[in-house]
Amino acid sequence: MDDPESTMATVAHFVEKLHANMSSPHEKELITARLLGIARARKDARALIGSHAQAMPLFISVLRSGTPVAKVNVAATLSALCKEEDLRLKVLLGGCIPHLLSLLKFESTEARKAAAEAIFEVSSGGLSDDHVGMKIFVTEGVVSILWDQLNPKIKQDRVVEGFVTGALRNLCGDKDGYWRATLDAGGVDIIVGLLSSDNAAAQSNAASLLARLMLAFPDSIPKVIDAGAVKALLRLVGYENDISVRASAADALEALSSKSPRAKKVIVDADGIPIFIGVVVAPLKSVCKHQEYAVELLAILTDQVDDSKWAITAAGGIPPLVQLLEMGSQKAREDAAHVLWNLCCHSADIRVCVESAGAVPAFLWLLRSGGTKGQEASAMALTKLIRSADAATINQLLALLLAESPRSKTHIIKVLGHVLTMASHKDLVQKGAPANKGLRSLVEILNSSNEETQEYAVSVLADLFSNRQDICDTLATDEIVHPCMKLLTSKTQGIATQSARALGALSRPTQSTIKSKNKKSYISEGDVKPLISLAKTSSIETAETAVAALANLLSDPHIAAEALAEDIVSALTRVLGEGTIEGKKNASRALHQLLNHFSVGDVLSGNAQCRFTVLSLADSLSSMDINGIDSTDALDVIALLARTKNSVNLTYPPCSALADVPSSLEPLVHVLAEGSPLMQDKAIEILSRLCNDQPVVLGDLLVGKPKSLVCLTNRIMNSPILEVKVGSAALLICAAKEHKSRSIDALEAKNPRGYTERTIFQDNDDFGVPDPATVLGGTVALWLLSIISSFHAKNRVTVMEAGGVEALSDKLASCTANPEAEFEDTEGIWISSLLLAILFQDANVVQSPTTMRIIPSLAILLRSDEVIDRYFAAQAMASLVCGGSKGIHLAIANSGAVAGLITLIGYIESDMPNLVALSEEFSLVCNPDQVVLDHLFEIEDVRSGSTGRKSIPLLVDLLRPIPDRPGAPPVAVRLLTHIANGSDMNKLAMADAGALDALTKYLSLSPQDSTETIIAELLRILFSNPDLLHHEASLSSLNQLIAVLRLGSKSARFSAARALHELFDAENIKKTELARHALQPLFDMLNCGSERELQATLVALIKLTYGNSSIESSIADVEGNPLEILYKIYHQLHR
């Protein structure tokens, strides 16, 4: 068989002999044994057997029906054939699997060994890509049968166990679907049990299976842990185990720790760290691969388990890890660097341990000689380890930077940038110093043709300039700035973005540049155009970076003009809408710079852009530091826009955007409640401009943040700026108007008396001709005091004790003493009267010595041309008369106030609804003029004195119809009745003033029933004076009274009868033909009147008929049998 032809002939001969009718069973045992020997010994023989057309069918025939020995030989032969890649699939497709599975179940150990090995070999190529082969295994149920063979109840042979686990390892990948059934069948316990086998192959295969199981089903990990797999695997990674076992165990531990935080903790608790460290420090000659696994596992543990970091340190793991940085494989060096970086990040104490182990030189070596991952890990660790910018370290880094290797300088640049941030100001700016050399080397790299290096260098420079603002002023020179500016036009967006960031940091304003306000020397015309282009780029991140730089540069008017011409505003508004909070801050600052140079109309192109800007800025306040410079910029812009009125570009005030979107006010109210006094003042300026448009919303928001109310009070009392005082008071009014009780409670909780003890009156004693701002401040303060005083009586006393009444007295005296003054504080006058009306509701205030001094001023105001002035002066007097003494009443009467009060009579609520509503809000009377006059005319001295007589003609004038004062006549009649009652002189004065004619004419107009009644009553009183019975108007009065008897209401007829009673005392009246017409209505009244009415009617009839024969004869003509009527009344009265 030494030559190929002989071998081919031999193989063909033996194969032919396997036909059923050509050899006996024993002979077949011998033949299959010979074929097995040939297959094991010769590679070419294996190829010949595999290529023989009859070989596989005959082998399958033997497996099906041959003797046990022949079957074992064939199974072993198939194992040998499968060692050839090109024959393995041929064996599988030949149909051997079912028969091998049958053989695996034999009692014979040799049979099971041969079958298990064959199945292992036929599956060893991996079948995940062979769909036909995989289908065969699935169809035959190979995996489940193999798992059955591992059942702990079966005392399986060690060799068989190894081959079975190996076959399962081949068939069960980390993505296959076999595992669920395996889990359900208790597969985890089986695998973990095999880890403790004394068979190295079984241990290795079990560990590998366990790794695949956990990768396929991470939810199996708790079962794995609970089954005790961690301790078993940790034993297997020990140096004393077979290399394949350690490798598989390391794989399983990696899968376990990478998928489960709990597993990491369990590994640490099981003293896994010392075991891994032991592997790391083992002799390098034979365990290099296992060092990699151990270090990789340490990297995975240290990523998430804090305890592992101290465990590594305590186990002495730091020195060997540092040693690995120089002597380990590339992967071990990378993982060791990662572990050491994790350790440095954990605590300063561990970092010191790492540093003392000589890690810095080792990392610098790795930075030079390592691969990409090693360099990255080294750079990360060095940024943690290096804590000072010593010259030696900088020089080493510069040497690496300038050397040929490594080819990529990115990580060296990163470490150098880190070191430079810690250098002193002197070392960074002084030419020749190591730090300065390092910085200028980075600048030189900006001219590199390698874009990756360029981007890293400019990014590091941007970080350096951002972190070290102290060096920017000195280093902002042409030789440093121009290379950065050149990169703005780079086609690589990252480079352009980072260069913009570096320029932004360099141009950031400092105290010296703010004071000088000079243009940066390195900026020339056109230089900002690339920056503006970047600001308009599609990347919002890049746009934000460019805007940050522009925000610093726009303080220069020339740059601002250039940017405005290039439509930078559209980029700014985009960042305001879409950017991060940092981007919004810079956009706010940039807008602020532009608005410092140009008008709102020039900067913002129309209503939509202006509205968007206002709302975006307001919204951005929610995310900013409330007292930071960024919030100041945003508030300044909003305040500036709020002050802006309509212009060519803006048909609506920008402030209207806030009014239209109430939610935009919330951040401003928050600033008011929580900000510094400076920020509060800015918020007050903005919010106070919305008091007219959104008083309810503002009131709700302010009351929702009680602290804001306290802040407003403090600003009223403490701010030196009048506009702030005014705005604060206006906002407090909004809150108090909508939520009076809650507002006052909030104020009183923080300022029990202060807010009413300090008023604007105490800031200025001169009330001659104040400037408009002072007037506005006074007006709003008066409003606020009015609201506060109306809430509680104690507040009214507090205002009085604080000098409020005296101040109001002085203010009104000053205003009324100069009625023709060029400037008139019209609003402040009536609000002062309103406040007095509220204060005078308290008797203690009324008794103030100042009260008497106020009355003359109020009397003068009652002669004002403005109804509102007269109305609230009357309110003040109404409060006085309701709680004052007779002396105060007389003082009012003698002040000449009555005439002014009469001018208010008759205005109905529809004519001045706002005044009436305001009065009701402050719990004041609706008709103060009537209240005062009623109280005054109840006093005899007032009625009978000159005040009463002077009032008569004025009141009589009101009896005549006045279109704009329809309610005047009834009031005038009532007041005239007061004055006439008991005074014949006043009755004559009324007649002389035309009262009789006026009353008669009024009756002729058929007024309301109640009015008819009081007119008839007044006529009765007037005609009770005998001198008036002969007045020329008496007969016309008689005529109208008779008409009332006929057509009037019951009460009116009663009053008319009483008036006739007085008239019929005159002979010249009762004997007239007109008097005869009174008979019928008087007798009609006798039929249906009450006793009181009967008496009045009878008296009138008696007076009419007594001694009047002509009337007596006319009684017979009265309808209804008057005698019978009188007879009935007689009996009724004498029962």
Given a cut of 80, whether residue 610 has pLDDT beyond it is yes
pLDDT at 705 over 60: yes
Residue 881's pLDDT is 93
Task: Tell me the C-alpha distance between 954 and 906, whole Å.
Answer: 13
**Of 320, 269, 327, 261, nearest to 294 (Cα)?**
320
Share of the chain above pLDDT 70, in %: 87
The count of other CB atoms within 10 Å of the CB of residue 1104 is: 23
SS3 769: coil
Listed by start position, the domains of the chain span 1-119
| Confidence category of residue 518, pLDDT binned at 50, 70, 90 | very low
CB atoms within 10 A of CB 42: 17
Mean pLDDT of 1079-1093: 79
Listed residue (655, 644, 713) closest to 686, CA to CA = 655
Four-CA torsion 59, 64, 68, 69, nearest 10 degrees: -10
Residues 458/495, Cβ–Cβ less than 8 Å: yes
Mean pLDDT of the chain: 81
3-state secondary structure of 92: helix
User: Cis omega before residue 1026 (within 30°)?
Assistant: no
Q: Which helix (H) or strand (E) holds 285?
A: helix 284-304
- Token digits for 662? 């109430």
Whole-number pLDDT of residue 133? 66
Indicate the burial class of 905 (C-beta count within 10 angstroms; 0-12, 13-18, 19 or more): buried
CB 95 within 8 A of CB 63: no
When pLDDT is cut at 50, 70 and 90, the band that residue 836 belongs to is: very high
Of the candidates 108, 95, 187, 177, the residue with the CA atom closest to the CA atom of residue 146: 187
Q: Token pair of 1054, please?
A: 């009663």
CA-to-CA dists, residue 1132 to 17, 62, 1095, angstroms: 161, 151, 12
What pLDDT score was predicted for residue 246?
81
| Mean pLDDT confidence for 1075-1091 | 80
Q: CATH assignment of 1-119, given 3.40.640.10, 1.10.10.10, 1.25.10.10, 3.90.1150.10?
A: 1.25.10.10
Q: What is the sign of the dihedral through the CA atoms of 213, 217, 221 and 223?
A: negative
End-to-end Cα separation, the chain, in angstroms: 170
pLDDT band at 768 (very low <50, low <70, confident <90, very high): very low
Q: Are 924 and 882 in contact (CB under 8 A)?
A: no
In this structure, of 122-136, 429-443, 656-670, 857-871, the range with the lowest mean pLDDT score is: 122-136
More confident call, 1024 vs 153: 1024
Average pLDDT over residues 580-588: 87
Q: Is 68 helix (H, G, I), strand (E, B) or coil?
A: helix
Q: Model confidence at 860, in pLDDT bands (50, 70, 90)? A: very high
Lowest mean pLDDT among 551-560, 608-617, 773-782, 1014-1023: 773-782
The three state secondary structure string of 800-835 is HHCCHHHHHHHHHHHHHHCCCCCCCCHHHHHHHHHH
Burial of residue 662 (number of CB atoms within 10 Å: 0-12, 13-18, 19+) = middle
* Other beta carbons within 10 Å of 641: 25
Q: For position 1116, what pLDDT does the model report?
A: 65
* pLDDT of the residue at 897: 92
pLDDT at 760 over 50: no
The pLDDT assigned to 858 comes to 92
- Rounded to whole angstroms, how far apart are CA atoms 201 and 207? 10
Question: Which residues lie closer than 8 Å to 846 by C-beta, 6 or more apart?
Answer: 840, 879, 880, 883, 884, 888
Tell me the residue ranges of DSSP E strands in 900-1012: none
Return the number of other C-beta atoms located less than 10 Å from residue 477's C-beta: 11
Residue pointed to by tokens 């071998």: 7
Gap between the Cα atoms of 364 and 378, Å rounded:
7
The residue-averaged pLDDT of 140-150 equals 78
Q: Given this model, what pLDDT does residue 953 score?
A: 94
One-letter identity of residue 751: N
Contacting residues for 1115 by C-beta, under 8 A, at least 6 apart: 1079, 1105, 1122
**What is the chain's length?**
1135
Q: What is the pLDDT of residue 446?
A: 87
Query: According to the model, what pLDDT value does residue 874 have?
Result: 94
Dist CA 694 CA 184 (whole Å):
69
Examine the pLDDT at 875 and tell me if it is beyond 90.
yes
pLDDT in tens, 302-357: 776 677 777 777 777 788 888 888 887 888 888 888 888 888 888 888 888 888 88
Per DSSP, the residues of 937-966 read HTSHHHHHSHHHHHHHHHHHHTTS--TT-T
Distance (Å, whole) CA 969 – CA 97: 124
Question: What integer pLDDT is reported at residue 43 of this predicted model?
Answer: 82
Q: If pLDDT is split at 50, 70 and 90, which confidence band does 627 have?
A: confident
And the tokens for 7? 């071998």
Which residue is listed with tokens 């009649």?
Answer: 973
CA dist., res. 828 & res. 812, Å (int): 9
What tens digit of pLDDT does each residue of 36-90 get? 888 888 888 888 887 888 888 888 888 888 899 988 888 888 888 888 888 888 8
| DSSP letter (8 states) at residue 865 | S
Does pLDDT of 2 surpass 70? Answer: no
Model confidence pLDDT, tens digit, residues 525-571: 677 888 888 888 888 888 888 888 888 888 888 888 888 888 888 99
- On whether the CB atoms of residues 958 and 906 are closer than 8 A, the answer is yes
Inform me whether the pLDDT recorded for 259 exceeds 50: yes
